């Protein structure tokens, strides 16, 4: 790092500290030329993503919003928050590693469903039922049946069926 005083390029790190939120690392450095001390911050380079809504409107992709919808879908389910957060991070990493900077809410929703399906079938159906705005109960039941085909012997599955609206 270029010394702000003498422009020497060599320095040594004398202290490294993780920020409170864990999102950046603060480093105190000392120039090897003139011993000036300065501070640098290191953080993950985030790609700016835009969510494209059905009507074509764009808005900044909101990590918090995504987390909230996960938490809501997993409400009263035996799923640790850490698992939910990890899954949200996975979704975001996958979206960020793609070529597209503008991502339809449909694509985001599909990705969320993929991850919720891996966590908990009830959470998955809850999210899917809201997200896809099932037109009728037939569609809803179809969804659950296809879920059953994918994971026929899951313990959670039985619970799901007892909760099925009649």
Residues lying near Zn ion in the complex (CB under 5 A)? 3, 5-6, 8, 31, 33-34, 36
Shortest gap between Cβ of 112 and Zn ion (angstroms)? 49
Shortest gap between Cβ of 12 and Zn ion (angstroms)? 12
> What distance in Å separates the CA atoms of residue 7 and residue 71, rounded to the nearest whole number?
49
Of 6 and 18, CB closest to Zn ion: 6
- For 128, the token pair is 């899917």
Shortest gap between Cβ of 38 and Zn ion (angstroms)? 9
Of 5 and 65, CB closest to Zn ion: 5
Q: Report in angstroms the alpha-carbon separations of 133 from 102, 125, 127, 154.
A: 23, 11, 10, 26
- For 80, the token pair is 């640790």
The C-alpha angle 133, 136, 139, rounded to 5 degrees, equals 80
Give the long-range contacts of residues 26-29, CB within 8 A, separation 24 or more.
29/1
Of 2 and 23, CB closest to Zn ion: 2
Of 36 and 129, CB closest to Zn ion: 36
Shortest gap between Cβ of 11 and Zn ion (angstroms)? 8
């Amino acid at each position: 790092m270029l010394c702000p005083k003498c422009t020497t390029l060599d320095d040594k790190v004398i202290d490294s500290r993780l920020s409170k939120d864990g999102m950046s690392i603060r480093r105190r450095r000392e120039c090897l030329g003139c011993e000036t001390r300065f501070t640098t911050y290191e953080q993950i380079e985030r790609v700016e993503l835009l969510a494209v809504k059905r009507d074509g409107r764009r808005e900044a992709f909101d990590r918090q919003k995504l987390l909230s919808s996960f938490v809501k879908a997993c409400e009263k389910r035996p799923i640790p928050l850490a698992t939910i957060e990890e899954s949200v991070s996975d979704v975001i990493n996958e979206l960020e590693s793609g070529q597209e900077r503008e991502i339809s809410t449909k694509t985001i929703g599909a990705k969320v469903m993929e991850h919720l399906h891996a966590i908990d079938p009830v959470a998955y159906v809850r999210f899917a039922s809201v997200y896809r705005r099932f037109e009728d109960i037939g569609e809803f039941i179809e969804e659950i049946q296809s879920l059953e085909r994918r994971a026929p012997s899951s313990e959670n599955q039985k619970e799901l069926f007892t909760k099925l609206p009649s």
